Every structure is written in structure tokens, then in C-alpha cells.
């Protein structure tokens, strides 16, 4: 037993290799995380100060633009909130359809070989098509309404939903279903406590992809197949040669996406996966080992002698 418990002698700290106060500060995760945008902004200000180009979006102009937009002072025909509202409505509509239809198709493909064979090539074809082609095509067919952008969102996102759900079904834990059927667990209870939870990680992946890829499809479609929305607005400022406005609008969405991630997805994720082992597991393992030792050394159990000997050999 000595070999196991023997501690590696701690090396005395060598002078000069200890982290200085500054380095330790920088290594904190929160500081490290903030360091990146700080550096980007510094670089941005620096490049701006070189005055290479007249249309380079100066940081102060971008901020000024964003501030004006927030206060509803805009030259465009819809203000920030209307624009965001229109795009988000289209995004959520398209996303909802992707999730519902994609989940249904994905379940079918995972469960049945013939359903899989039927949809397989279509899914691959949609996946292979550049979003730009959808945008142009939908613009031609549906004109400047909401139909084109919503369809673009669906077409961009749905293959990812389908593929993730299908993989989820294919990876359902067979041995847990066998366990449930050995105990004659009724089917609806199996669905609720076994099938759905085992699909959850795949549904989350489907939602995240469906959302972010759907967004990209939407913005592109709004450029070519709409006269409203975030994509159209970015195009509007592009046509007006206002690079700071293009960047400003992009930032609005980045900020929105950040909040969505932080306050919706992360919260949902934490709720759905609170069973994932975190802290405390190690403690319990140690407790178990201790219990076993007590059992092993139990004087009434003469049968434990060989094991005690074996432990001594280690």
C-alpha cells in the first residue's frame, strides 16, 4: 500500500517561474475572455488611425450610428426595431417549421430504411445547394414578400435538423430499451422517460444548427428576395456606401445572438442536462472504496483474507 499513497515530494518553487500578479490576472477566464474583444477594438482603432481608406468604418462612427438607430433616428424606411421584428418573425417561423418537419422526417428516416432511402438524396441535394441559389431562385419565384425569406430559412436549416434527429434515433440506447422491456415497462412511459431524453442532445444540436444556419439563409434571401428585414437593411446601407452602418447592423445581430445563447439556449441546456455528472462524483467513489475496505477487513468474513494479502502486495 505504501507505493500507492506515497506522495511525490513537492518541488520548491524556482525563483522567477512563479506567475507574477499581472500574469495571474490575465489567466483568469473572465479576463481572458474580455481580452479578445479589447484587442480587436484596439486593432480597429489603430487601423482606423492609419487613414487608409475614406470608407473604412471608424469605431466612433459605428457606435454613433448604432446609438442613433437605437433612438429611432434613421434614414432608412424601417427603424431598427421594425427591421429586427420583421426578420425575427421570419426566422422563428422558418425555424419552427424546420424543427417540426425536420424532426418528423428525421424520426422517419431513423426508424425506417425505406423512409431513409426516400429522403436521403433530397436531403443531400438541399445540403449541397449554396444558400445564394435559394435566395436568387426564391426572389424570382415569390418576389419581395416574406414567403421567399421564410422558405430560405427552412431550406437552409432543415437538413441539419433532419440529420441530427436521424442520428439521434440511430443512437438510441438499445440496452436501455431491452432493460425496460425486460421489466415490462409500458410503451408510453418508455417514450417519455427513455426515448425523448435520449434524443435531447440531438434535438439541441438540431436546434442550434437549424437556428444559426437558418439565420444565414434568411439574411441572404432578404438581400435578394425582400424589401424589408436585416438582410435588406444591410444591403440598403451598402448601396448608400455607409460601411459603418453595415458593420453597425451586423453588431446588432451579434449582440442579439449573444443574448439568445446566454439567456435562452444555455438556460434550456442547463435544465435539460442537469443529470450530467459534475462535482461530487469523485467524493462518492472514494466513499465507496472506503466502504469496501471496511467490508474487507471485517473480522467475521474470513473469506476476505486473500484479498487483504493481495492489497498488501501492491
Partner 1 sequence: MAQIKIDNLRKEFGVGDDKVVALQNVNLEIEGDVFVSIVGPSGCGKSTLLNILSGIETPSSGKVEITQDRHDANPGYVFQAARLLPWRTVMDNLLFVQKDPDSEEARARCQKYLDMVHLGDKGDKYPGELSGGMQQRVGIARAFAVEPDVLFMDEPFSHLDAITARSLRRELHEMWAATGKTILFVTHDVGEAVELSNRILVFAKGGKLEDDINVELPFPRDAANEEVAVAKAQVLKKFEDLDLVAT
Using CB under 8 A, which of 25, 67, 263, 293 touches partner 1? 293
Could you give the CA distance from residue 90 to residue 88 in angstroms, rounded to a whole number?
5
Nearer to partner 1, 14 or 289 (CB): 289
* 191 lies in the binding site for partner 1 (CB under 8 A): no
Could you give the CA distance from residue 257 to residue 266 in angstroms, rounded to a whole number?
12
Shortest distance (Å) from residue 300 CB to partner 1:
10
Instruction: Tell me which H or E stretch contains 47.
Output: helix 29-49
Using CB under 8 A, which of 136, 185, 250, 257 touches partner 1? 185
Contacts of 75 (CB under 8 A, 6+ apart): 240
Q: What number of chain residues touch partner 1 (CB under 8 A)?
A: 39
Shortest distance (Å) from residue 248 CB to partner 1:
43
* 193 lies in the binding site for partner 1 (CB under 8 A): yes
Nearer to partner 1, 50 or 281 (CB): 281
Q: Residues 150 to 169: which contact partner 1 by CB under 8 A?
A: none
Could you give the CA distance from residue 312 to residue 314 in angstroms, rounded to a whole number?
6
Could you give the CA distance from residue 205 to residue 215 in angstroms, rounded to a whole number?
15
* 31 lies in the binding site for partner 1 (CB under 8 A): no
Nearer to partner 1, 38 or 181 (CB): 181
Q: Which stretch binds partner 1 (CB under 8 A): 80-88, 125-133, 182-190, 217-225?
A: 182-190
Shortest distance (Å) from residue 100 CB to partner 1:
23
Nearer to partner 1, 192 or 262 (CB): 192
Place of cell 457606435: 63
* 309 lies in the binding site for partner 1 (CB under 8 A): no
Contacts of 101 (CB under 8 A, 6+ apart): 154, 158
Could you give the CA distance from residue 164 to residue 110 in angstroms, rounded to a whole number?
10
Could you give the CA distance from residue 95 to residue 90 in angstroms, rounded to a whole number?
8
Place of cell 500507492: 4
**Running DSSP on this structure, what letter comes out for residue 12?**
P
Helix axes 80-111, 147-170, angle to 10 degrees: 40
User: What is the grid cell recorded at 246?
Assistant: 453595415
Helix (H, G, I), strand (E, B) or coil at 98: helix
Give the contact letters, 261-280, x = binds to partner 1 (CB under 8 A), - = no.
Answer: ------------x-xxx--x
* 189 lies in the binding site for partner 1 (CB under 8 A): yes
Using CB under 8 A, which of 38, 53, 171, 181 touches partner 1? 181
List residues binding partner 1 (CB under 8 A): 175-176, 178-185, 189, 193-194, 197, 200, 273, 275-277, 280-281, 284-285, 287-289, 291-293, 295-296, 301-307, 310
Amino acid at each position: 500500500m505504501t507505493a500507492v499513497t506515497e506522495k511525490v515530494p513537492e518541488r520548491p518553487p524556482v525563483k522567477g517561474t512563479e506567475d507574477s500578479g499581472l500574469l495571474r490576472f490575465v489567466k483568469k477566464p473572465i479576463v481572458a475572455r474580455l481580452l479578445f474583444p479589447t484587442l480587436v477594438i484596439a486593432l480597429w482603432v489603430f487601423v482606423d488611425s492609419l487613414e487608409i481608406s475614406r470608407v473604412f468604418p471608424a469605431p466612433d462612427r459605428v457606435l454613433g450610428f448604432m446609438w442613433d438607430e437605437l433612438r429611432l433616428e434613421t434614414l432608412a424606411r424601417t427603424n431598427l426595431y421594425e427591421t429586427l421584428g420583421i426578420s425575427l418573425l421570419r426566422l422563428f417561423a422558418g425555424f419552427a417549421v424546420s424543427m417540426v418537419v425536420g424532426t418528423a422526417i428525421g424520426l422517419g428516416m431513423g426508424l425506417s430504411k425505406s423512409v431513409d432511402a426516400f429522403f436521403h438524396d433530397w436531403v443531400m441535394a438541399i445540403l449541397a445547394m449554396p444558400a445564394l441559389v435559394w435566395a436568387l431562385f426564391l426572389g424570382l419565384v415569390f418576389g419581395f414578400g416574406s414567403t421567399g425569406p421564410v422558405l430560405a430559412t427552412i431550406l437552409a436549416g432543415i437538413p441539419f435538423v433532419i440529420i441530427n434527429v436521424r442520428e439521434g434515433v440511430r443512437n438510441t440506447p438499445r440496452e436501455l430499451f431491452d432493460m425496460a422491456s425486460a421489466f415490462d415497462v409500458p410503451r408510453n412511459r418508455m417514450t417519455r422517460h427513455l426515448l425523448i431524453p435520449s434524443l435531447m442532445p440531438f434535438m439541441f444540436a438540431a436546434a442550434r444548427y437549424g437556428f444559426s444556419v437558418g439565420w444565414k439563409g434568411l439574411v441572404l434571401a432578404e438581400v435578394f428576395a425582400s424589401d424589408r428585414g436585416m438582410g435588406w437593411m444591410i444591403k440598403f446601407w451598402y448601396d448608400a456606401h455607409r460601411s459603418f452602418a453595415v458593420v453597425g447592423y451586423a453588431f446588432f445581430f451579434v449582440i442579439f445572438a449573444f443574448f439568445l445563447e446566454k439567456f435562452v439556449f444555455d438556460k434550456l441546456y442547463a435544465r435539460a442536462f442537469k443529470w450530467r455528472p459534475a462535482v461530487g462524483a469523485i467524493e462518492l467513489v472514494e466513499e465507496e472504496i472506503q466502504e469496501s475496505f471496511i467490508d474487507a477487513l471485517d473480522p467475521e468474513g474470513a473469506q476476505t483474507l486473500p484479498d487483504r494479502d493481495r492489497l498488501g502486495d501492491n
